[in-house]
């Protein structure tokens, strides 16, 4: 087994089972690029402060660059002999530059080092997720623009409720994703804080220039309390929370795609490239992608709850329990990125069954609310109109007809002020065109929303 960087205190070697149990390299090796970048910045700062010589810093940063290239290319392996990525990088550095490499750890601890690496990793992940959210929003807006005239049933309680534009429905998800973007962006204020310089928990006796390191690594500020800095994982929890809400939105979209693709709905065709078949039933075309997205939502929720549970009982400052933050974080990042990418590709190939949608809008008394509004324009209170239209729906049900198939004479039996102009209120398209207030499903309103969405996307 490799010698431990902390081994001087101990007389016995670590138990082999504990060695395996304790090691984090199998998963924290994903932090190698962040670890090396942070180490180079720390090294240059040590030289600037006169803690090490400029020539020493130059040799070490050059060697660190070589280690980065070797790890990226696969020329160097992530040797399981080392317990974590920090130790591996340091030992590889010593192999290259000799005992000089042992100076790199001056003024820092693995506690503030891993906090730094994780913050940089989350920062990089947020940038990628924001880009992928933007791609999905772009796909949704494109679908909405292509289908601006398509009318679909809007639902409440999974029951047909009122006619809406398909574009309006799609833009609802654009808005959800917009809030997701905001959550990730706002969390960056708390991610982008430099913990390096906090050492193990109390700071360091060396005159470090923390602001220099912050500038070099792109951090907006430095942490104000060393104990908090090494034991804070709020920023990881925030990433999990933002990701959980995002996945909830993707799951809702997935559920609708699953329902709409069934024979019972028949609203859409999913592209073959994103579906699978059955091993026994030749006719099947299964919506596995949206089902997996729906299922993986619980996985992301689980990582949030797991880390909340891990952190809730920890005294200050750093505790080994916090090593448990990594695997869940990495899995959440992978899951979110894959789901966003695949949902964009799936939606890009969805086709809408416009004839089926047209028929669906014409059935189910979706214009009942507009009929009530019509009665209000003729002098009724809305509560009276609601009651009258409810009785008219019962009558139409008994006759097996839609409201717009009732005669004026039949409708006058419920209220004598109904005239021929009532039919203008019973056409689904007309119902939509009357809803052009801000945020409504009217064609003019939706076109304004699309223009605003395009403007937002172009400004990114």
CA triplet 20, 29, 5: central angle to 5 degrees?
A: 60
Nearest to 370 by CA among 417, 423, 407: 423
> 65, 157, 226, 243: which one is catalytic?
157
Q: What is residue 285's three-state secondary structure?
A: coil
CA triplet 177, 122, 239: central angle to 5 degrees?
A: 45
What DSSP designation does 322 have? G
Buried b (16+ CB within 10 A) or exposed e, 299-336: ebbebbeebeebbeeeeebbeeebbbbbbbbbbbbebb
Length of the chain: 460
β-strand partners of 175: none
- Asked whether the beta carbons of 164 and 439 are under 8 A apart, the reply is no
231 as an active site residue: the answer is no
> 58, 65, 131, 278: which one is catalytic?
278
Alpha helices by DSSP H, listed for 147-233, are 166-191, 210-217, 226-231
Nearest to 64 by CA among 31, 97, 87: 97
Residue 131: other Cβ atoms inside 10 A: 12
- Asked whether the beta carbons of 239 and 329 are under 8 A apart, the reply is yes
DSSP 410-439: HHHTT-TT--GGGGGGS-HHHHHHT--STT
C-alpha 72/C-alpha 114 separation (Å) is: 20
The helix or strand, by DSSP H or E, that contains position 165, with its residue range, turns out to be strand 159-165
C-alpha 246/C-alpha 177 separation (Å) is: 7
Phi, psi of 366 (to 5 degrees): -70, -15
DSSP 238-279: HHHHHHHHHHHHHHHHHHHHHHHTSTTT--EE--GGG-B--S
278 as an active site residue: the answer is yes
Residue 386: other Cβ atoms inside 10 A: 15
Q: Which residues are catalytic?
A: 157, 278
């Amino acid at each position: 087994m490799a010698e431990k960087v902390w081994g001087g205190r101990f007389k016995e070697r670590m138990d082999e089972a504990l060695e395996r149990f304790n090691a984090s390299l199998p998963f924290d090796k994903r932090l190698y690029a962040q670890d090396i970048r942070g180490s180079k910045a720390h090294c240059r700062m040590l030289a600037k402060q006169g803690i090490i010589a400029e020539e020493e810093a130059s040799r070490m940063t050059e060697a660190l660059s070589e280690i980065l290239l070797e790890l990226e290319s696969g020329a160097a392996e992530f040797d399981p002999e080392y317990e974590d990525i920090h130790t591996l990088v340091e030992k590889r550095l010593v192999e290259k530059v000799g005992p000089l490499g042992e100076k790199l750890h001056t003024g820092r601890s693995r506690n503030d080092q891993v906090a730094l690496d994780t913050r940089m990793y989350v920062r990089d992940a947020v940038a990628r997720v924001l880009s992928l959210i933007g791609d999905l929003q772009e796909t949704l807006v494109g679908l909405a623009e292509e289908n601006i005239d398509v009318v679909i049933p809007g639902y409440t309680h999974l029951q047909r409720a009122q006619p809406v534009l398909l574009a309006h429905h799609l833009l609802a998800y654009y808005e959800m994703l917009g809030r997701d973007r905001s959550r990730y962006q706002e969390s960056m204020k708390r991610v982008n804080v430099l913990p390096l310089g906090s050492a193990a928990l109390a700071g360091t006796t060396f005159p470090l220039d923390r602001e220099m390191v912050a500038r070099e690594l792109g951090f907006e500020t430095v942490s104000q309390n060393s104990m908090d800095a090494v034991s804070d994982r709020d920023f990881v929890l925030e990433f999990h929370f933002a990701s959980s809400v995002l996945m909830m939105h993707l799951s809702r979209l997935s559920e609708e795609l699953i329902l709409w693709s069934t024979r019972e709905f028949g609203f859409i065709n999913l592209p073959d490239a994103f579906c699978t078949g059955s091993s026994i039933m030749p006719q099947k075309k299964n919506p596995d992608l949206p089902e997996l997205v729906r299922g993986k939502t619980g996985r992301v929720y689980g990582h949030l709850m797991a880390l909340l549970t891990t952190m809730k009982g920890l005294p200050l400052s750093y505790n080994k329990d916090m090593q448990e933050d990594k695997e869940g974080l990495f899995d959440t990042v992978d899951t979110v990125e894959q789901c966003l990418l695949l949902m964009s590709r799936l939606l890009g190939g969805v086709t809408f069954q416009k004839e089926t949608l047209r028929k669906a809008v014409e059935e189910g008394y979706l214009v009942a609310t507009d009929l009530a509004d019509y009665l209000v324009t003729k002098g009724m209170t809305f509560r009276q109109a609601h009651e009258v239209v409810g009785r008219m729906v019962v009558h139409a049900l008994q006759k097996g007809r839609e409201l717009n198939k009732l005669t004026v004479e039949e409708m006058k039996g419920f209220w004598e002020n109904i005239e021929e102009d009532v039919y203008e209120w019973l056409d689904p398209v007309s119902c939509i065109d009357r809803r052009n207030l801000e945020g409504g499903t009217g064609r003019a309103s939706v076109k304004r929303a699309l223009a605003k969405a395009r403007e937002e996307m172009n400004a990114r």
